[in-house]
Structure 1
Amino acid sequence: MIEVHRVSVLVLVLALSAACCLGFGFVLQQNAAQRAPLSDFLSFRLLIDLVKVPRWLGGIALMVVGMALGAAALGQGELSLVEPLLATNLLFALALSRRQTRQPLGRQGWAGLALLAGGVTAFIVAGQPQSGAATADPMRQWLIIGVMIGLALLLTARGRRSRLGSGPVLLALAAGLLYGVQDALTRVSGQTFSEGGFAELMTGWQPYAVLAIGVTGLVLVQSAFETASLRKSLPALTAAQPLAGIICGVGFLGDRLRTDAVALGWEAGGLLAVITGIVLLGLHPAMPTGTATVTERTRVASPAVSPASP
């Protein structure tokens, strides 16, 4: 059982509420993005076209609320604690998708749920994340951020070349890495604001990086949603984000995890269970399959979503 003095109830409530909003928001976004013109793939025009679709706006509104709740959770708890909790957004996405498709959970669903929830609990209980002093070595910070962004760029380049094959999975992985970095920088921005106020916050580079990474990640996610079902895109996104966030938290934000052999074994096992659970839930029959046909995309694109010019 999670020790009360280790894990704040407030952090749990904030993080799980954020996961709920994110999960519901992802389902609504994919419902709309799958009917967007394919010519908008990996283009900011995709966001301009989708902003005309009410369902997508509803999904974005939920996502914004989820990100705000996640930021509040990050302000109260360690990144290494909050990230695994945010990964439960897939449970809420499955709940909404299951309501739409009326599919029972079955063995696969219950197994995925148990692995995801049990893995998150095992990681938190074994690791006992604690805050510490952020690393004084800026090179480590830039190295970790650079590696994450570099991997995201490589995945995006590869995904661009196979957009109807492995592309959506690669784009979702890239977005997950960026969102993990965004969460880390959100925590830094929150600390700066609490210590120096709005003026000091706006003189730093972190809030602008949060905005730029957020918009870029949004384009990647919507492009993945546009060209593949939630079964292919959402599990990759959900798995990559907490891993990137934990690396950033431990790497340069000063988060501390237990490092004895037993604890490390449980932490690794917990993360493996989380990823396995995410895959099982993502492949569940309740998750919507396929994308809209070309005819449907043409119909939606005009006049609700106008085709992008070449």
Structure 2
Amino acid sequence: MSLLGMAVAVVAACLIGLGFVAQQHAAFQEPLGRILHPSLLLDLLHSRLWLAGIALMIAGQLVFAFALDLVGVAQATPVLTVNLVFALIAAHVIYREPFGVRALVGSLMLTGGVALFLGVGQPHGGTPPGTHSLRWLGGAVVLVLAVLVAVGGGHRDLRVRAMLLASAAGLLFGLQDTLTRSVVLLFAGGVADAFRTWQPYGLVCVGALALLFAQSAFDAAPLRISLPASTAAEPLTAIALGVVIFDEKIRLSTRDLALEALGLAGMVAGIVVLGRSPYLGKPGEMASRDGSAGQ
């Protein structure tokens, strides 16, 4: 296990978490009618706060690409879940509130779960798939599933719709992580040759769709409702795709699988606990939003 790769992934998580906070505060001001519409992104381009959030997220993704050059997808992506901890810290700073017991417990559950999964599972190895390998069908399945999840919440309660949109974004973020590692490996063999393959263009398209889903989720509900769903979906998707597409290995004995499942469960439980913090949303946000939606 590369400690440098893990450290780089933590830095990426910090930048991405701070970026999510800025993006949500800007996107939540947009009309509900813009959800899943490209005009939402066009309007947000005029917001300095949102642009700052996007800049932080892009910086985080570039740093994470460096991490993926050092370690595999299944090893690096679980570390990204700590972006929720950094988002919560940023929210506490904004509202000048103490970091309470619930937040501490959630942070310990999240980080402990990630450490348990990585320590026991020890993801390693893997071979890059060919440009047209059938292994990429796993990515196609994730793409279709993400679109179905996002579209399926069209007429539901705002909270449910936000969670579905965020889950869809998380699925695509997991696919994006997998494509990022593929592109990094292709670039190592020559940038010009890499651009003759579909992966760089697929990465841009998947990233753009994930961004639309994520901003739509941020538009529909506060971070405490939207961010946990995407934070949980991304690593689970990336781990699965790392195994399916890159043939990465994890320990598979009965005892190891039980401990790995416990680690992932702890990670998700920590995400849920942290996501319930009132400081990931402004007081009265949903009440005012629900009232305006009903008018």
Q: Where on the TM-score scale, by shorter chain, does this alignment land: which range?
A: over 0.9
3-state SS of the aligned residue for 2:252? Answer: coil
3-state SS of the aligned residue for 1:87? Answer: helix
Q: Which amino acid aligns with 2:258?
A: G
3-state SS of the aligned residue for 1:187? Answer: helix
Contact 2:128 2:182 in 1 (8 A): no
Contact 1:35 1:291 in 2 (8 A): no
The answer to whether 1:97 aligns with 2:91 is: yes
Q: Specify the alignment match of 1:276 in structure 2.
A: 269
Residue 69 (structure 1) shift? 0.6
* Structure 1, unaligned runs of 5 or more: 1-5, 298-310
Residue 292 (structure 1) shift? 9.2
Q: Specify the alignment match of 1:212 in structure 2.
A: 205
Q: Which amino acid aligns with 1:201?
A: A
> How far, CA to CA, are the matches of 1:175 and 1:202 in structure 2?
25
> How far, CA to CA, are the matches of 1:31 and 1:286 in structure 2?
12
Q: Which amino acid aligns with 1:13?
A: A
Alignment of 1:111-126 (within 5 A): 111-126=105-120
Q: Specify the alignment match of 1:11 in structure 2.
A: 5
3-state SS of the aligned residue for 1:161? Answer: coil
The answer to whether 1:263 aligns with 2:251 is: no
> How far, CA to CA, are the matches of 1:201 and 1:81 in structure 2?
24
Residue 239 (structure 1) shift? 0.2
Q: Specify the alignment match of 1:301 in structure 2.
A: none
> How far, CA to CA, are the matches of 1:66 and 1:43 in structure 2?
25
Residue 265 (structure 1) shift? 1.1
Alignment of 1:144-155 (within 5 A): 144-155=138-149
Q: Specify the alignment match of 1:254 in structure 2.
A: 247
* Structure 2, unaligned runs of 5 or more: none
> How far, CA to CA, are the matches of 2:54 and 2:286 in structure 1?
20
Q: Specify the alignment match of 2:180 in structure 1.
A: 186
CA RMSD of aligned residues (A): 1.7
Residue 134 (structure 1) shift? 3.9
The answer to whether 1:62 aligns with 2:60 is: no
Q: Specify the alignment match of 1:29 in structure 2.
A: 23
Deviations 1:59-98 (A, max 9, x none): 0000000010111111110111111101110000000001
Residue 291 (structure 1) shift? 5.1
Contact 2:179 2:199 in 1 (8 A): yes
Judge which range, 154-163 or 203-212, deviates more.
Answer: 154-163
Residue 160 (structure 1) shift? 2.1
Judge which range, 145-154 or 231-240, deviates more.
Answer: 145-154
Q: Which amino acid aligns with 1:247?
A: A
> How far, CA to CA, are the matches of 2:128 and 2:6 in structure 1?
23
TM-score normalised by L of structure 1: 0.89
Residue 293 (structure 1) shift? 4.9
The answer to whether 1:232 aligns with 2:234 is: no
Deviations 1:200-235 (A, max 9, x none): 110000110100010111111111101100010000
> How far, CA to CA, are the matches of 1:233 and 1:74 in structure 2?
26
> How far, CA to CA, are the matches of 1:22 and 1:140 in structure 2?
29
Residue 261 (structure 1) shift? 1.4
Q: 1:156 to 1:150 in 2, by over 3 A?
A: same
> How far, CA to CA, are the matches of 1:291 and 1:29 in structure 2?
17
Contact 1:101 1:288 in 2 (8 A): no
Q: Which amino acid aligns with 1:273?
A: G
Q: Which amino acid aligns with 1:138?
A: S
Q: 1:76 to 1:292 in 2, by over 3 A?
A: farther
Contact 2:24 2:218 in 1 (8 A): yes
Residue 131 (structure 1) shift? 1.8
